[in-house]
Structure 1
Amino acid sequence: MKTIVICSGGLDSVSLAHKVAAEHQLIGLLSFDYGQRHRKELDYAAACAKRLGVAHQIIDISAIGSHLTGSALTDDIEVPDGHYAEETMKATVVPNRNAIMLAIAFGLAAAQQADAVAVAVHGGDHFIYPDCRPGFIDAFQAMQNQALDGYANVLLLAPYVTISKADIVTDGVKYGTPFAETWSCYKGGARHCGRCGTCVERREAFHLAGVDDPTDYDDPDFWVGATTGFSAAEVK
């Protein structure tokens, strides 16, 4: 099945790219510049495409992103620290982001005669991101079946939508994902901050999966308090 993977350069989407390359016919990676706080992650997506020997397209939708105001990922708003389950993490929501990206991806897939578009949304996203939930995935597929009726049949693959990030780490090991060659941090510094929601989730996922985390964090122990309420010293 000829498949395009939406790849941000993060742990989830890079793991998905390696999974699709092993299980299907990966024909390309698709990334989006939506005016996010930093473009660092896109370099990791490009590296993934080169590693897997496929084309990498970056679609510039920054003009649209500039109007999706109010998010810490696109505006001059401080990125909150803590776990995704916390109310403060709603500051990282970019309204309708996945719907916009997927609509473009399906158009490209139809034009390129691809059979599927794969996206790495997962169970841990369900807390605050409505366009990462199973209901959205099912509804988007139904909408695209109508939008492309008589022209193309494109499947939306979301193999991680009901599983945890720890499960993705386990799956990534299976398919040889080079985790050190992925970028998650929302802050885009020289190293992963270790404190923002995606860093906390990443660090916790490796711990739960029982896999060594190769990531270099500014604050490698912050995740313990964010996920358990106890300090690293108390847990030890």
Structure 2
Amino acid sequence: MNSKIKKSVCVMSGGMDSTLSAYMMKNSGYEIIAIHFNYDQRTQTKELECFHKICDKLNVLEKYVLDLDFFKQLGASALTDKNIEVPTGGVEEGIPVTYVPFRNGIFLSMAAAIAEKEGAEVISIGVVEEDSSGYPDCRESYIKSMQQSINLGTKDETNLKIEMPLVHLQKFQIVQKSLELHVPLELTWSCYKNDTQACGVCDSCRLRLNGFNVAGVKDPIDYE
């Protein structure tokens, strides 16, 4: 019996969350179509290198690397504007300066176009609502509304589901689940500032290190 191959377009940054999300899709029987965005972020080179290595581990057959120079022109975020310092002092009030305006909305729109072309039924994104940096585009309610908009704006026979398997997990649970699924955490990158050794003090490094600490295991990547 020739059953149809299930495909999932996985938005993959090279970070821990999106990598786990892709592994969960693979584990659920989906063929992975990997998509990565270069948007002139500070750690672009390192993230791209991690993405390719993770795709090799996942035996990804189809991958897209998309260059978005629009974000550099836009600026307005410490990740894309070198004139804005990446904060290293811990928790900020409100939406942090590392928020990139509507980034996930733009990524999901492009992923939807690829999913429609490739005949995929799912888009996967590693957003985390409860233990994230407070980004508005990581909220479950937002992703659900995006799913509705994507399905309204595509062909009638296109019926896409956006999977966000980590949305209610905390970082230590993400570490635990990654270990359970043999995710190559040593290939993932979270630091906002550096692309050789992780800084250990930016918001993303702090969240990651705390996750490993609470899970009671050592982070396999190098820190300054």
* TM superposition score normalised by structure 1: 0.86
1:213 counterpart (216, 219, 224): 219
The answer as to 2:55 corresponding to 1:49 is yes
Specify the SS of the correspondent of 1:91: coil
Q: Please give the per-residue CA displacement for 1:92-131, whole angstroms capped at 9, x wherever unaligned.
A: 0110000000000011001100010100001345552000
SS in 2 for 1:110: helix
- Give me the CA root mean square deviation: 1.6
Q: How many Å separate the matches in 2 of 1:139 and 1:126?
A: 19
Q: Which amino acid aligns with 2:106?
A: I
What does residue 188 of structure 2 align with? Answer: 182
Question: Partners in 1 of 2:43 and 2:107 — Cα distance?
Answer: 18
Q: How far has the Cα of 1:212 moved from its partner?
A: 2.5
Which residue number in structure 1 is paired with residue 175 of structure 2? 169
Partners of 1:36 and 1:100 lie apart in 2 by 15
Amino acid at match of 1:202: R
Runs of 4 or more off by more than 6 Å in structure 1? none
5+ residue gaps, structure 2: 1-5
Question: What's the % identity of the aligned pairs?
Answer: 36
Deviates most, 100-109 or 151-160: 151-160
The CA deviation at 1:147 is 1.0
Q: Secondary structure at the match of 2:96?
A: helix
Pairing of 1:85-96 with structure 2 (within 5 A): 85-87=91-93, 90-96=96-102
Tell me which of 198, 208, 216 is aligned to 1:202.
208
1:127-179 residue CA offsets vs partner (Å, 9 max, x unmatched): 52000011111111111121125141111000111111211111111110111
Q: Contact conserved, 1:11 with 1:179, CA < 8 A, in 2?
A: yes
Distance 1:127 1:203 in 2: 14
Higher RCO (Cα < 8 Å, 6 or more apart): 2
- 1:55-104 deviations in Å (ceiling 9; x for gaps): 32111112x11232221000012111133x42387110110000000000
- Number of residue pairs matched? 216
Asked whether the 8 Å contact 2:22–2:32 carries over to 1, the reply is: no
User: How has the CA–CA distance of structure 1 residues 159 and 203 changed in structure 2, closer, same or farther, with 3 Å as cutoff?
Assistant: same
